[in-house]
C-alpha cells in the first residue's frame, strides 16, 4: 500500500483537476450559480494542497517513480492553466457602461505569460534530460506555484461573492488585484531564471563529449 499511495494521490489529483475544469466550464458570472464556483474553489484548494502530500510521502517512503515525476507537475499545470484560462474568459464577463469587461481581474496577457513560461520549462526539461542533466524542482519553482494558486483562488472566491465583498470588505478587491500582480512578477522572474539556465544548458551541450564528465553532471539542477 505504501508503494502505491503517492501515485494514487497523484491520480486522484489529476481526476479532480478535470472535475475542476468541468465546473469552471459550467459557471457564468452573474447568473446566480455561485455554488458552482464555490465547489470549483474547494476542489482547486484541495488539489493544490495535496500536491505537498504526495511529494512528501514519495520522498519519505522512498517511493519516487517515473509516473509521479511526470504526472505530478502535469496536474499542477492543468490546474493552474485551467483556472487562469477560465478566469480570463467570457465566463467571467459582465456588462459595465455598455461594454463587456472581465469581472475576475485576470487579463488575457496574464494567461499568455503563464503559458509561455510553462512551454519554456517543458522544452528545457526535455532537452536537459536528453543531455543527461538534472532537472529537479527547486524552491523558486515551488514559490511560483504557491503564488499562482493563491492568486487564482483569491480571484475565484472574491469574484464569486463580489457584491458581498464590496459591501463588507471592499479591500478584498484590491487584495485580489495585488495577488494577481504578485503572480505576474513571480512568473516573470521564474521565466527569466529559466532563460539564464537555458543559456547555461546550451553552453554545456555545446562542449560535446565534456557534457558527460563528472564536472558537467554536477551542474546545479534547473528550477
> How do residues 156-170 score in pLDDT, each as one tens digit?
999 999 888 888 888
* Closest residue by Cα to residue 194 from 110, 137, 112: 137
Residue 22 DSSP SS3? helix
* Closest residue by Cα to residue 197 from 151, 149, 136, 145: 136
Say what the pLDDT of residue 80 is.
95
Q: What is the pLDDT along the chain (223 residues), one digit of tens a residue?
A: 555 777 888 899 999 999 999 999 999 998 888 999 999 999 999 999 988 887 767 677 676 667 667 788 889 999 999 999 999 999 999 878 777 889 999 999 999 999 999 998 888 777 777 767 666 666 777 899 999 999 999 999 999 998 888 888 889 999 999 999 999 999 999 888 888 877 777 787 777 655 455 554 444 444 4
> How do residues 122-138 score in pLDDT, each as one tens digit?
887 777 777 676 666 66
84 and 110 in contact (C-beta within 8 Å)? yes
H helical segments located in 4-107: 5-25, 34-60, 66-87
CATH topology for the 5-217 domain = 1.20.120
The residue ranges of every structural domain in the chain are 5-217
How far CA 5 is from CA of 8, 16, 68, in Å, comes to 5, 16, 11
Say what the pLDDT of residue 41 is.
96
| C-alpha–C-alpha distance, residues 33 and 35, integer Å | 5
The residues that bridge with 101 in the sheet, in sequence order, are 94
Amino acid at each position: 500500500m505504501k508503494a502505491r499511495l503517492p501515485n494514487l494521490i497523484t491520480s486522484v489529483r489529476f481526476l479532480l483537476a478535470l472535475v475542476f475544469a468541468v465546473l469552471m466550464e459550467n459557471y457564468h458570472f452573474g447568473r446566480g450559480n455561485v455554488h458552482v464556483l464555490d465547489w470549483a474553489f474547494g476542489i482547486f484548494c484541495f488539489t493544490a494542497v495535496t500536491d505537498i502530500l504526495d511529494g512528501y510521502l514519495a520522498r519519505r517512503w522512498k517511493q519516487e517513480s517515473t509516473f509521479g515525476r511526470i504526472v505530478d507537475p502535469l496536474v499542477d499545470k492543468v490546474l493552474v492553466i485551467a483556472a487562469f484560462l477560465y478566469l480570463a474568459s467570457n465566463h467571467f464577463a459582465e456588462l459595465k457602461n455598455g461594454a463587456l469587461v472581465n469581472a475576475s481581474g485576470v487579463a488575457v496577457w496574464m494567461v499568455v505569460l503563464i503559458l509561455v513560461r510553462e512551454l519554456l520549462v517543458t522544452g528545457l526539461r526535455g532537452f536537459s534530460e536528453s543531455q543527461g542533466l538534472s532537472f529537479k524542482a527547486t524552491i523558486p519553482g515551488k514559490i511560483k506555484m504557491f503564488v499562482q494558486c493563491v492568486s487564482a483562488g483569491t480571484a475565484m472566491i472574491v469574484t464569486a461573492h463580489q457584491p458581498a465583498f464590496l459591501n463588507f470588505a471592499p479591500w478584498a478587491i484590491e487584495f485580489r488585484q495585488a495577488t494577481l500582480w504578485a503572480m505576474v512578477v513571480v512568473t516573470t522572474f521564474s521565466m527569466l531564471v529559466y532563460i539564464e539556465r537555458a543559456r547555461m544548458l546550451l553552453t554545456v551541450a555545446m562542449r560535446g563529449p565534456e557534457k558527460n564528465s563528472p564536472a558537467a553532471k554536477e551542474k546545479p539542477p534547473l528550477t
